[in-house]
Structure 1
Amino acid sequence: MRNANPWKAAVAAGVLLLAVACGSGGGTGGGGAAEQKSVGKGEGRIDLIAWAGYAEDGSNDPKADWVHPFEKQTGCKVNTKIAGTSDEMVSLMKTGQYDTVSASGDATLRLIAAGDVAPVNTRLVPNYRDIFSGLKMRPFNSKNGKMYGIPHGRGANLLMYRADKVSPAPDSWKAVFDGAPKYSGKVTAYDSPIYIADAALYLMKTRPALGIKDPYALDRTQLDAAVALLKKQRQYVGEYWSDYQKEVTAFKGGDSVIGTTWQVIANTATAQKAPVKAVLPKEGATGWSDTWMVSAKAAHPNCAYKWLNWIVSPKVNAQVAEYFGEAPANAKACRETADPHHCAVYHADDEAYYRRVHFWTTPVPQCLDGRTNVKCTDYAQWTRAWTEIKG
C-alpha cells in the first residue's frame, strides 16, 4: 500500500504494508475470537507482517533501529515480512503463520470478518492509555465495543498541485474531477479500489440528492455514480500512482501537476525544489490510520502483546512517525520527536483537523452509515469496479 520513505526503507515499490506477526493466542476467529487475559513470559520469537519502515532494525539506516532494542529488552526475536499491498496482507494473515500486522483501514474489517484477528485486551497494553482519543473505537479498528488492535499512526490524503502550473490555487476536489479537463494528461490519482471513496466524498458534498452519508457506505446506485465520475476523470489522468518516488519525480518533472498525495510526499517534493503545495480541500478528505492487529492463531501471543506496547511507546512511536512520515498515535510521542515541529506539520494533536478526514474503512454489505433498508456494496465489488474504471 504505502511506501512513505523510499530513501531509507529498502522497498522498490512505493506501496507499503507492514504487518507484524505477534500472536494473540489461539482464538477461534471473527467476532467470537477470545481476547488475551494476561501477558506472560515471551516465547522468544515474533513473526510480523509490516509496512516497510515500521519495523526497522538498522539495516536500511543505522540510525533507525527500534527492533534490536525490543529484542534485547524482551528476548523476542523479530522476524519481519514486508508486504506490498493490503490485499497481500490479508492473504498472508489467512495462513496463520504470522502473529501481528499493521493493517490499514481498507484491510481491517476484512481481517475481522474472516476471523483472522482477535480482539485486543487494551488493559494489557499500558501505552494504549496515551493514544489520541480520536483513534480509539473507530469503525475501522473496532467491532461490538471491542478494539481489534492498537492504533499506530495516521495521515490525510491531500490535494497537491504545482503552484507554477495551477491557478488559481485550488481549495476543492473539483480541480481533479469536474475541473480535470483543464489539466488533461497531468492529473494523478491513487491507484487502489479505495480511491473510489475520494469520488464518493466529492459527490457527498456536491450531489446531496444521492444521499451519501459515508464515503465507504455506498449502495449500488451510489457506487455507480462514483464509478461514472471516475470513468470521466480517467481520460484526463496521466498516471495512477502507488509508488511514492514516482509521484515525487512526476511532480518535479511536470508530468503531473495536480492530484492526491500525502504530507510526507509534499515535504519530500518541496525539499527537492519542486514548486508544489498541498491542501486539505474544503470538502474534507479521505485518509489512513494503521492498526497493529493480533492474529487469532498467533503462535507467540506474549511476544505479540509486548510488541504492541513497545511500538506505540512514546519514544519508539516518535521514531517510526518521523522515519515513515506520519502523525504518531501516542500523544506523548510529540515530546520525543527529533524535529520539534513534526507533530504540528502532521497535525498530530489537531482533532479538529482529523474530524475532516474520513479514514479508510473496508466497504462491507452492512451499511456503515447505519442504513438497514438497503444492502451496501463490499470491497470485492469495489475491486471489480476499479478494474472497469482503469480499463
Structure 2
Amino acid sequence: MRLNRTLQAPHSSLVSGARLVAAVAVLLAATACGSSDSGSSSATGLNPPDLKAQSKLGKTEGQVNLVAWAGYVEDGSNDPKVDWVGDFEKQTGCQVNSKVAASSDEMVKLMKTGQYDAVSASGDASLRLIASGDAAPVNTSLVPNYKDVFSGLKNGAWNSVDGKMYGIPHGRGANLLMYNTQKVTPAPTSWSAVFDDASKYKGHVTAYDSPIYIADAALYLKATKPELKIKDPYALDQKQFDAAVALLKKQSANVGEYWSDYLKEISAFKSGDSVVGTTWQVIANLAQDEGAKVKALVPKEGSTGWSDTWMISAKAKHPNCAYKWMDWIISPKVNAQVAEYFGEAPANSKACAETSDKSFCDTFHAADETYWKNIAFWNTPIEQCLDGRTDVKCVPYAKWVQAWTEIKG
C-alpha cells in the first residue's frame, strides 16, 4: 500500500509516500506473470482473454473516470500551483473525475467494478488486471506522445504480453542504498553494507518496511550465492525464499528502524540514528537539502524499483476521453510536472527539456537506459514461477506477508 502524504520541497514533492505493496494479501493463483527485468519481452505463461485494442478514436464523451496514486491527477485543489487537469479539461472537453487509491489491491478492486475508465497501475496490479480481462490492450498509435516514451519502459514484463502493450508508461524509480558519508567508510558499493556487514552499524541500519523488501535480499543473494540459482528476485522457490528470509532475520538484529515514512527516514539520517539503508532518490535529495551528509547509489548487485503504467478498462464507458488522458499525462510538459511533483523519472524523453530543475532528469537517471537495466521492477510473486520454471512452485506473496511479520519479530 502506498501511504498518502504530501511533501513540499525544493527539488520535488513526494505525494504518495511509501510504496508498500503489502496490501496484496490474497493473490490470484491463476495469474502468471513475466520476468521482473526491465524491458523484457512479455509475461511468461500469461494467457489473457483475447481482447482487441480500440482501432480509432471517436467523439469524446465529456468525462473520464480515473483511479490513480496520489499526486498523479492534480487539479489545483491540493496546491493551487499544481494543476495539469484544468488545461486538459479545457482542451478536450473531458471532465476528470478521479479516485485516489491507497494500494494496488484497491486499484484492482475498483477497476473490477467497471466504473472507472483508466488506472495508474504498478507492476503488482497491472498483470492481474491483464490476466483477469479487466484491462484492454492499448492501441499505441492512438497515443501520439507514446513514440517519445523511453524504450526501457515499452514492452515490459509488467505491462505487455507477447509484444502487445496493455498500457502507457508513466514513470519509474529505483530503491537505492543511502549512507552517511562521515560514519560509513569506505563508501559502500554493495548491499553487503546492510546485509553481511550490517553488524558494523548495529542499531543504525534502516530497511524498507514491506514484505516486498524480501526481493531486495533475494537480489543480493542472486549475486552472492550463485548456488541458489536465483534468476528473478520475485520468483523464489521454497529453498531460495528460506535463504532470503534467513538473511533478513539475521539483518533484523542490526536494524534500528524499518521505515515507511520518508520524513522519519530523513530525520533519522540527520540525527545519526540511521547511517545506512534503503531509500529513494527524492528522499536522498531532500535529506541533502536539509543538511544530512548522505549519498545514495545503485550498488553493484543492482536494485529493485517500480514502474507505473496507465491502463484502460476493458469496460471503459469513456474510452475516447481515456485515450486523450493517456496522451496528455505523458505529453512532455505535463509528464515533467508530474515527475517533479511526485519525485520520479518521467516516461517521455522530451519531458526532460520541460522540467523546472534542469538537472532533474540527470539526478533521476531518466534517459540512462543502462542504469535501468540494473533495476528489477516490482512484480507480484505467485506460485507459477515468474522466471518460467515449471518443475517447482514458487512462494506466493501471501507467504511473503506472513514471513515479513516473523522477520520483524
TM-score (norm 1): 0.91
Question: Is 1:315 paired with 2:333?
Answer: yes
- Rounded to whole Å, the distance in 1 between the matches of 2:399 and 2:316 is 30
Change (3 A) 1:255 1:98: farther
2:242 maps to 1:224:
yes
Contact 1:4 1:264 in 2 (8 A): no
Question: What is the letter of the counterpart of residue 236 of structure 2?
Answer: L
Residue type of the alignment partner of 1:102: S
Partner residue, 2:29: none
| Conserved? CA contact 1:5–1:325, under 8 Å | no
Give, in angstroms, the shift of residue 235 of structure 1.
Answer: 2.3
The letter of the residue matching 1:7 is: Q
**Alpha-carbon displacement from aligned partner over 1:248-280 (angstroms, at most 9, x marks no partner):** 222222222211111011001111111111111
- The residue number in structure 2 matching 1:199 is 217
Q: Name the CA distance, whole Å, in 2 between partners of 1:214 and 1:16.
A: 20
Unaligned runs of 5+ in 1: 18-28
- What is the CA-CA distance between 1:3 and the residue it aligns to? 5.9
Deviation at residue 86 of structure 1 after TM alignment:
2.3
The answer to whether 1:212 aligns with 2:230 is yes
Contact 2:16 2:71 in 1 (8 A): no
Residue type of the alignment partner of 1:205: A
CA contact (8 A) 1:11 1:52 kept: no
Whole-Å Cα distance in 1 between the matches of residues 408 and 309 of structure 2?
A: 29
Which one-letter code corresponds to 2:167 in the other structure? G
Alignment of 1:15 with 2:33, yes or no, is: no
Q: Out of 131, 135, 144, which is 1:126 matched to?
A: 144
Aligned to 1:47: 65
* CA distance 1:77–1:15, change in 2 (3 Å): farther
User: Over aligned residue pairs, what C-alpha RMSD do you find?
Assistant: 2.2
Q: Percent identity?
A: 69
Q: State the distance in 1 between where 2:59 and 2:114 align.
A: 22
> Displacement of 1:244 after TM fit?
2.1
Contact 1:16 1:83 survives alignment (8 Å): no
Partner of residue 38, structure 1: 56
Using the alignment, how far apart are the partners of 1:180 and 1:190 within structure 2?
15
Q: 1:184 to 1:93 in 2, by over 3 A?
A: farther
Alpha-carbon spacing, 1:117–1:380, altered in 2? closer, same or farther (3 Å): farther
- Distance change >3 Å, CA 388–CA 98, structure 1 → 2: farther
Q: Which moved more, 1:365-374 or 1:257-266?
A: 365-374
Contact 1:2/1:244 (<8 A) preserved: no
Compared with structure 1, are the counterparts of its residues 239 and 110 closer, same or farther at alpha carbon in structure 2 (3 Å cutoff)?
farther
Give the Cα–Cα distance (whole angstroms) in 1 for the partners of residues 297 and 402 of structure 2: 30
Residue 2 (structure 1) shift:
6.5
- Out of 138, 142, 161, the residue aligned to residue 156 of structure 2 is 138
Q: CA 1:53–1:133 in structure 2 vs 1: closer, same or farther (change >3 Å)?
A: same
Question: For the structure 1 residues 74 and 156, does the alpha-carbon distance in structure 2 shift closer, same or farther, using more than 3 Å as the test?
Answer: same
Tell me, yes or no, if structure 1 residue 381 matches structure 2 residue 372: no
Q: Mean alpha-carbon deviation: is it higher for 314-323 or for 92-101? A: 92-101
What SS does structure 2 have at the residue aligned with 1:274?
coil
Alignment partner, residue 292 of structure 1: 310
AA matched with 2:8: W
1:25 aligns to what? none
8 A contact 2:16–2:69 mirrored in 1: no
Shift in alpha-carbon separation, 1:293–1:132, aligned structure 2, 3 A: same
Q: Which structure 2 residue ranges, 5 or more long, are not aligned?
A: 21-46
Contact 2:16 2:342 in 1 (8 A): no
CA deviations 1:73-92 (Å, max 9, x no partner) are: 11111122222222332333
- Aligned AA (1:306): K
3-state DSSP of counterpart to 1:157:
strand
- For 1:1-391, list aligned pairs within 5 A: 1=2, 6-7=7-8, 14-15=17-18, 30-391=48-409
CA deviation after TM superposition for structure 1 residue 342, in Å: 1.1
Distance 2:331 2:16 in 1: 29
How far apart, CA to CA, are the structure 2 residues paired with 1:96 and 1:250? 43
Give, in angstroms, the shift of residue 191 of structure 1. Answer: 1.9
Shift of 1:240: 1.9
Change in CA separation of 1:50 and 1:226 when aligned onto 2, cut-off 3 Å = same
Judging changes above 3 Å, is the alpha-carbon distance between structure 1 residues 16 and 224 closer, same or farther for their aligned structure 2 residues?
Answer: closer
Bigger shift: 222-231 or 54-63? 54-63
Return the TM-score normalized by structure 2. Answer: 0.87
Opposite residue 357 of structure 1, the aligned amino acid is: I
Equivalent AA in structure 1 for residue 73 of structure 2 = A
CA deviation map 1:138-159 (0-9, x unaligned): 1111123211111111111100
CA drift of 1:352 comes to 0.9
**Per the alignment, do residues 5 and 330 of structure 1 end up closer, same or farther by CA in structure 2, a change over 3 Å counting?**
farther
CA distance in 1, matches of 2:118, 2:298: 32
| Superposed displacement of residue 177, structure 1 | 0.9
How many aligned residue pairs are there? 380
